Amino acid sequence: MVSLNSYPSFPSDCKSLLSKHLTKKVYEQLKDKKTSSGFTLAQAIASGVENHDSGIGVYAGDIESYDTFAALFDPIIKEYHGFLKSDSHVSNLNANDLNAPNPDSENKYIVSTRIRVGRNIANLPLGPAITKEQRDEVEKQAASALNSLEGNLKGTYYPLDGMKEDVSEKLIEDHFLFKAGDRFLEAAGLNRNWPKARGIYHNDEKTFLVWVNEEDQLRIISMQQGGDIKEVFQRLTSAISKIEEKIKFLYSDHLGFITSCPTNLGTAMRASVHIKVPYLSQDYAHFEEITNKHHLQIRGINGEHSQSVGSVYDISNRRRLGVTEVQCVQDMYDGVVELIKVEKELALR
Ligand code: ADP
Ligand code: ARG
């Protein structure tokens, strides 16, 4: 159980949004509050208090956390997404509204494309506050809904508990499975009872995958080699609507899909490509200028907090709330088109 006896201190070089927005006044206002599932301020901020290199530093334990601890979460949400209390979120998962012809039909730049959404089940706490029994219930509901899928979504659910180490390592290396032991999730209470009730579902081709009980209860993923972004989006949206026939997800008109980390609220969507840009990445400021213009984030190729290998980077939408799913993918697409154009010009110099 996380406890907090006094106002936490952060080193002067700490850049987390938690350290910025947890003023003494906010701390005093929230320190004794609890949601109905018993989630406290100490739990909400534990990850950022322990990990001073956090970018954000907070997690919600349930949908109520976003109200109970609004004095802290609202300014963080505003700063990350540019989303105000008076704004509302609109969803659009219609693939026909996306304008995304393959920007790299010769397969020279885009190694692979992946789009994921986070989802959590209605009427249950989120991972940081969930009980072992409730987590088991999530796994049961997820496996049952997933096992009813047909056609190109048909696959198998593989529990992590009992999975051979060489199998899980290969799945991680091939970018299909989450890593164990993330220290940000650990401090947030998201790794309790690991690996119980954690698992991965995937079809034979591994183009459709679902992570169960990692940072969010479900991470629904569509991915494939190359740059056919629209095909990846279409597969994802058809899978989401099939799963929604069986499971009701946590959703609020204001914040959209509710996730444990405030960066994922709204669409809970991260649309990415692994893209090879050896020339552009040598001028990192120029590279970032283009990604910033299109509201994109640069990651390394082994997931968050990893490094680039062989000039391949993970480029994805940064905004997820107050924009539709189509817009998230369109941001990524438009940015990728410009990155390829500039990379080609630099190669000719
Ligand atoms: P998330 O996408 O859930 O926010 P990560 O950034 O940690 O989490 O990525 C999860 C995994 O997905 C990592 O193994 C990462 O390499 C892989 N991945 C992300 N984008 C792509 C992509 N476009 N192609 C292939 N693998 C990808
Ligand atoms: N808690 C981590 C931090 O503040 C990750 C935040 C965003 N990423 C995520 N996977 N939710 O840096």
pLDDT in tens, 88-140: 999 999 999 999 999 999 999 999 999 999 999 999 999 999 999 999 999 99
Coil, strand, or helix at residue 202?
strand
- How far apart (Å, rounded) are the C-alpha atoms in residues 252 and 59? 17
**By alpha-carbon position, which residue is closest to atom 3 of ligand 2?**
54
Q: Which of 216, 203, 69 is nearest to 149 (CA)?
A: 203
Percent of the chain past pLDDT 90, that is, above it, reads 97
Cβ burial, residue 336 (10 Å; 0-12/13-18/19+): buried
Coil, strand, or helix at residue 214?
coil
Coil, strand, or helix at residue 210?
strand
CA of 319 to the centre of ligand 2 (A): 14
User: What is the pLDDT, as a whole number, of residue 3?
Assistant: 65
**Closest ligand to Cα 303:** 1
DSSP 8-state class, residue 17: H
With a 6 Å cutoff on the Cβ, whether 263 touches ligand 2 is yes
Coil, strand, or helix at residue 96?
helix
Q: How many CA atoms lie within 13 A of 111 on its CB side?
A: 15
**By alpha-carbon position, which residue is closest to atom 1 of ligand 2?**
57
Per-residue pLDDT at 44 exceeds 90: yes
With a 6 Å cutoff on the Cβ, whether 184 touches ligand 2 is yes
Instruction: Dump pLDDT digits (tens) for 317-338.
Output: 999 999 999 999 999 999 999 9
**By alpha-carbon position, which residue is closest to atom 7 of ligand 2?**
263
Q: Which of 144, 211, 145 is nearest to 176 (CA)?
A: 211
With a 6 Å cutoff on the Cβ, whether 270 touches ligand 1 is yes
- How far apart (Å, rounded) are the C-alpha atoms in residues 269 and 117? 4
The CA-based dihedral angle spanning residues 271, 274, 276, 278, taken in that order and rounded to the nearest 10 degrees: 80
| Residue 114 phi, psi (nearest 5) | -145, 135
Which ligand 1 atom sits closest to the C-alpha of 270?
A: 2
- Known catalytic residues are 116, 215, 219, 261, 263, 270, 299, 304
- The b-or-e profile of 22-59 (16+ CB within 10 A means b, else e) is beeebbeebeeeebebebbbbbbbbbbbbbbebebbbb
Counting every residue, how long is the chain? 349
User: What is the pLDDT, as a whole number, of residue 23?
Assistant: 97
Coil, strand, or helix at residue 121?
strand
- How far apart (Å, rounded) are the C-alpha atoms in residues 144 and 298? 36
With a 6 Å cutoff on the Cβ, whether 47 touches ligand 2 is yes
User: What is the pLDDT, as a whole number, of residue 4?
Assistant: 77
- How far apart (Å, rounded) are the C-alpha atoms in residues 64 and 57? 18
Best residue among 111, 172, 175 to mutate for probing ligand 1's pocket (most ligand atoms within 8 Å of CB) is 175
| Residue 236 phi, psi (nearest 5) | -65, -45
Which ligand 1 atom sits closest to the C-alpha of 300?
A: 16
User: What is the pLDDT, as a whole number, of residue 305?
Assistant: 87
**By alpha-carbon position, which residue is closest to atom 7 of ligand 1?**
303
User: What is the pLDDT, as a whole number, of residue 2?
Assistant: 62
Query: What average pLDDT does range 270-290 have in this prediction?
Result: 97
Mean of the per-residue pLDDT values for the chain? 97
Query: What average pLDDT does range 274-302 have in this prediction?
Result: 97
Best residue among 49, 304, 321 to mutate for probing ligand 2's pocket (most ligand atoms within 8 Å of CB) is 304
Contact 139, 212 (CB under 8 A): yes
Q: What angle do CA 176, 156, 329 make, to 5 degrees?
A: 45
**By alpha-carbon position, which residue is closest to atom 2 of ligand 2?**
54
Per-residue pLDDT at 146 exceeds 90: yes
Question: What predicted TM-score, i.e. pTM, was given to this entire model?
Answer: 0.97
The most distant pair of C-alpha atoms in the chain lies apart, rounded to whole Å, by 62
CA of 84 to the centre of ligand 2 (A): 21
